[in-house]
Amino acid sequence: MTAPQLLDTGLMPSDAAAALFDLPRAASACRIVVAMSGGVDSSVVAALAHASGAEVIGITLQLYDYGAATGRKGACCAGDDIRDARAVADRLGIAHYVFDHESAFREEVVEQFADEYLAGRTPVPCIRCNMGPKFTDLFRMARELGADCLATGHYVRRLAGADGAELHRAFDPARDQSYFLYGTTEAQLDYLRFPLGGMPKPQVRALAEAAGLRNAAKPDSQDICFVPDGDYAKIVTRVRPEGAAPGAIVHAATGETLGEHKGIVHFTVGQRKGLEIGGQPEP
């Protein structure tokens, strides 16, 4: 398997760019909606869509409070990232719209994230986000805009199979995001496009630089967007204060009270380290 060859200077030719989007007809007669988070990946997708010759519309979903997130590192879809998405759209000369989805994001992602922790599970909110407010609402918007496809910056590949489009791992295993999109339906996959799935990240950054995008060197977000400092307990406590209530640590077999915890939000099933009860003899 080899990654697509791109030009060393400038973006790829329009026909090569168009091929990345598997358009149903000539690009000049198509409309592509791009989900723009403000990061380098979705920005390059917008640049490639523009290079194809299609009409391009960028959409950013504001997922949580803009003011609180302004200037905060790792804040996807809020604050500085929205400004970056708008600047990229201006640079490319494409339309760009921001839609407030804070309420939906809080209910479908943040609150369920907290509920999972209270149930003793360790959630992966990025999966719920992609399967919930992002794809559901972006699909509706893209179709209402008459788009031929919805393109994102995910590192996965969409390949033609015997029974239609199939979701495959990215060319670069270090960047693969197929895990986050496992719940993508056939109807969604038929409409989605992932033009970066066959590229390594350095190539994507090179394209961003060639396009003159302001976020070409922007660091990747490594944390959950609404927990940029890694303090999950603080977020869960804010959403579900009852999770911070102290309680007894009880031996399941003997019923003996071994100590006291500072709130179940700090623990998960099977956890041993950090209980602060010392070594315990076997019953």
Active site residue 126: no
Considering the candidates 30, 76, 77, 129, report the single residue annotated as catalytic: 129
Active site residue 129: yes
Considering the candidates 30, 76, 149, 225, report the single residue annotated as catalytic: 225
Structure tokens belonging to residue 135: 């794809």
* DSSP secondary structure, 52-113, as one string: TTSEEEEEEEE-S-HHHHTT-TT-TTSTHHHHHHHHHHHHHT-EEEEEE-HHHHIIIIIHHH
Beta-bridge partners for 8: none
Structure tokens belonging to residue 78: 């809020």
Structure tokens belonging to residue 80: 């500085």
d(C-alpha 281, C-alpha 191), whole Å: 58
Contact call for residues 6 and 178 (beta carbons, < 8 A): no
Q: Which residues are catalytic?
A: 129, 225
